[in-house]
A and B are shown apart, each in its own frame.
Chain A
């Protein structure tokens, strides 16, 4: 991130910085003004008493025992159940909708229609029902009779790009748009062409990644509790508590301030849960119409076709390299396959900066539901392609892939991480000749690198209250996606007061509490923790002022808080004794964000070992190692868990996951976990998450997203090393391995 420092005439020095702001899960950079220096820092990373240790998740027992209440668990008196009717056709016009038979079913309380006449993808929601049981609601949506005029559709990108293909997105009033739209262009084509003339080896290849689903354990949905009064409460499975009230209020016909959003526990979002969504709109309308609480949680089928996806990609890349491994040029033509949406894809050559580059990025539309943000939007796609290509070049010039990367990546962080990873995976056991191991079970090794931002912004306002009995509450409206927010929020405050994690209680997930950031772009930790720290420091000083008379009038900043005691001037009293000196209402501090407590910019690398049965095409991941830096790890257990989760999600993308769609019907064929194959426990390799403690920055940085980026390239490269077959289309399934071996050469190649 660029930092622009500018002196201000005001008494307190200010500086302008650029920070990420998450809009629908995608971060955009904005400039804000902050104090140059605003107080004590975190201190050295190895001097913490709680932070940077392994702190068990405070909500773990609740979740493991089933006590934690998710939106899905809400059950209110008189609550109705909502279900959504979807259009099965990829492109159609609704000519009529008859709800008489559905309304006549006993128990059906309301039916609302979507405000649309034309649907552009299979799965588009067209109506919703509220009934006294979910089964009756199901029967009711089946009883709605919709007549469609079927319109031409296209769901296969290779067809959509052809002239005369059915039009996916309507023309804006001011211009005519094809299914293919150029979105970006960068670099110098002439320089690239000249540079290719100097290359010793050139590879042109075409890479494809499949459309992926977020696969949240808890589907999207809300419980809208409105009973006809002046206020409403909305329980939402969301990544942004504060993205809920405004939109809900609009459909409930209430002022925004009359709507409270509650998000106590939520079952995963991965970028797909911002705002109320179509399902939330329906839930609000049904609740308003019936004046009853309405629970509308999507079915798994709905979830697969209505809530967005990680855009697929189609990338044509040409790269040239010198014999010594230095890149001379990379030229790419990249298609973002976002359905009716825009898709996302990082620009090539991604993190490789050697030589010249030229790229063109296009959105290529198909009649599929819109892509949306998914953990590191656009990055795993780009990483897979470029890391595969770098590997291909390394093999072509017979250079070790690790050495090749070190040659083309200047940062010493990457060098140390690559060395560490090579050691951990046992890179020396690798056969340099791809497919060169004897027997049908062939081991292979691969590696890849990745990067991310992870900085925060100034949206969190945190209150810390200490009561006269010594109890401590930290309150902020933020949601915990399962990423450990509750735990570190407690731990920061506990550490400041020299207490244990169990001595502090957090209150989160409620829009009546202090404002907070939406969780996307790995911004939560770096946005929230500085505000919590600021509140904790202020609370400590307020507390110290009160207790000073008991400690020979020590200066507040000299009073020490450690091991449950408060001490100064060789006097020590217990926390309880000290708290008794507080006023009846206790003390409360208000914390705001401080840019100096966070940073941005992380790096990581992943190594993988796989075993491929070349007689069946079966790929068994054996071991994965991911090394990740991230400044100050708030909780080492959580950071390792994030790294593991990233590796697992990336492994799924590599070997199993992907939407399959029928070109003729225009319908997704695997909208269920039977045929959309997530890796299960038997698929898990040995996972080795390594925190790169050589990163000495005393600052919090988000690392959820970088953890998902490089593994996909590492796995693909390991498969090549094992088999000698380069699969350039994800997921790498046994059929592709077998057909690749049968054709005894690279498959799925194409010219730029």
Chain B
């Protein structure tokens, strides 16, 4: 770990200022970084992938660790709320079950006790080329995405190119499905961004980053609006190994049903298959107005995966994700397959 300056911020404004005034470093990976739970940042610092000149501690800021509800039942989740708080929150478990499931699916109890929702959304990719200190890939300022033609079993089948990472967050697909927004404060003030506009595809945004945040931006809270489909939400994550693993593929689903199981609204967002949480609107549209049954779900799953573009070693993700789409929707709709 390269030596760095540590600053405890006591207010959001101070945190932004401390990020803004630090020496920027020669490279984006040397820029100052905010730290909350540190569960991802520390690992990238230990292998010198991230070498910040200054680390600004957000945990010393009061009031960012609360979950509150508005009069309509919408949630405001402080950026420092831990994954454990989310998975155990009675109101979330009842009214946003998919969010509790997504939080519970992350890593281990130890990591969930420390990892925060803000940090979870800002995780760096798990791509093994990116994580290997010695490899200077496209995302680290190099000229090549080695996964494009290399060992790409874990990589993107949607939205890839020029980088083929998948976004590692479990909360992100679920929060996108729930229509969440993030409040961000930076040197130019506070803004609220819809979460589906927060993440950036490598072809569209800065390939060195995974979201719109600038060096001195920090997430302060996540807003999850009340919705008619939140109560029927679910998160289904597939891991090769149940003890501590990232998703090979995951599905965040939410549905609003009429009494005869006709779909009024559907939200389907895929995780582990694209550089951003990957919403599949064609499948959502297909489901709308249909009575949920085995055949309809199978067709919806096919539609969800129809535009997949597998790489050499990840074609298996197509049938796998189809299965997860069917199963997640069945669970959300309360039908058996």
Contact = CB atoms under 8 A, between A and B. Distances in A.
A656 B244 CA distance: 13
B2 A735 contact: no
A617 B324 CA distance: 12
A688 to B, nearest CB: 21
Interface stretch (B27-35, B213-221, B311-319): B311-319
B151 A618 contact: no
Secondary structure call for the B interface: loop
A734 B316 contact: yes
B316 A674 contact: no
A742 B323 CA distance: 14
A677 B135 contact: no
B132 A683 contact: no
B150 A663 contact: yes
Contact of B135 (A142, A616, A660, A667): A667
A139 B3 contact: yes
Interface string A330-343: 00000000000000
B90 interface: no
Contact of A667 (B1, B134, B238, B242): B134
B47 interface: yes
Contact of A656 (B241, B248, B314): B241
Residue among B129, B149, B245, B316 with max Cβ neighbours from chain A (10 Å): B316
B241 A662 contact: no
A734 B320 contact: yes
Contact of B241 (A615, A664, A680, A742): A680
Contact of A733 (B48, B126, B149, B240): B240
B316 A738 contact: yes
B264 interface: no
A665 interface: yes
Contact of B47 (A301, A616, A665, A669): A301
Contacts of B47: 301
Contacts of A680: 241-244
A127 B134 CA distance: 16
Given A301-B47, A683-B243, A617 B151 contact: no
A138 interface: yes
B243 A681 contact: yes
A612 to B, nearest CB: 13
A338 to B, nearest CB: 21
B240 A739 contact: no
A1 B171 CA distance: 60
B286 interface: no
Residue among A122, A142, A679, A738 with max Cβ neighbours from chain B (10 Å): A738
A177 interface: no
A742 B3 CA distance: 51
Contacts of B126: 674-675
Contacts of B134: 88, 122, 667
29 contacts: A88-B134, A135-B1, A135-B3, A139-B2, A139-B3, A142-B48, A616-B320, A616-B323, A617-B320, A618-B238, A618-B240, A656-B240, A656-B241, A664-B146, A664-B149, A664-B150, A665-B135, A667-B134, A669-B128, A679-B241, A680-B244, A683-B241, A683-B242, A733-B240, A734-B240, A734-B248, A734-B320, A735-B313, A742-B315
Interface of A: 88, 122, 135, 138-139, 142, 301, 615-618, 656, 660-665, 667, 669-672, 674-675, 677, 679-683, 733-735, 738-739, 742
Given A139-B3, A677-B245, A680-B243, 13 more contacts: A135-B1, A301-B47, A661-B151, A662-B129, A665-B135, A665-B146, A669-B128, A672-B131, A675-B128, A680-B244, A734-B238, A735-B314, A738-B319
